[in-house]
């Protein structure tokens, strides 16, 4: 057994890995044909612009169910369809949400 060959193999492998690792930034910094391609340098720069309107929706733009927690969206949609749809929705999801029918039912 010769431990010396293993040491040189490990050193050589490390040297090759470092050389390969160092060559990636060099290749990425100067792609082929970039210096000769004048159209690539003449492209306009586009900047995102903000309008004068507010980005956040106003109170009148908010949907009625958006004022409630997200897990109640389904039950509120079912309540908007009517009491029968609400009853069926509550029955289907009774083990998940445990909604109480009078909390969402309209006075029909």
pLDDT at 67: 80
Tell me the pTM.
0.41
Contacts of 85 (CB under 8 A, 6+ apart): 78, 79
* Structure confidence at residue 33 as a pLDDT band (50, 70, 90): low
The whole-angstrom separation of Cα 32 and Cα 52 is 43
The predicted-structure confidence for 51-98, as pLDDT tens digits, reads as follows: 655 555 555 555 665 688 888 889 989 998 999 999 999 999 999 999
């Amino acid at each position: 057994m010769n431990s010396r060959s293993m040491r040189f193999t490990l050193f050589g492998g490390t040297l090759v890995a470092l050389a390969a690792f160092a060559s990636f930034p060099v290749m990425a910094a100067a792609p082929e044909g970039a210096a000769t391609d004048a159209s690539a340098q003449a492209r306009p720069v586009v900047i995102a612009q903000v309008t004068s309107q507010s980005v956040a929706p106003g109170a009148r733009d908010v949907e009625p169910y958006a004022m409630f927690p997200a897990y109640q969206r389904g039950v509120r949609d079912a309540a908007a369809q009517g009491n029968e749809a609400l009853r069926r929705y509550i029955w289907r999801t009774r083990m998940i949400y445990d909604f109480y029918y009078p909390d969402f039912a309209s006075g029909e």
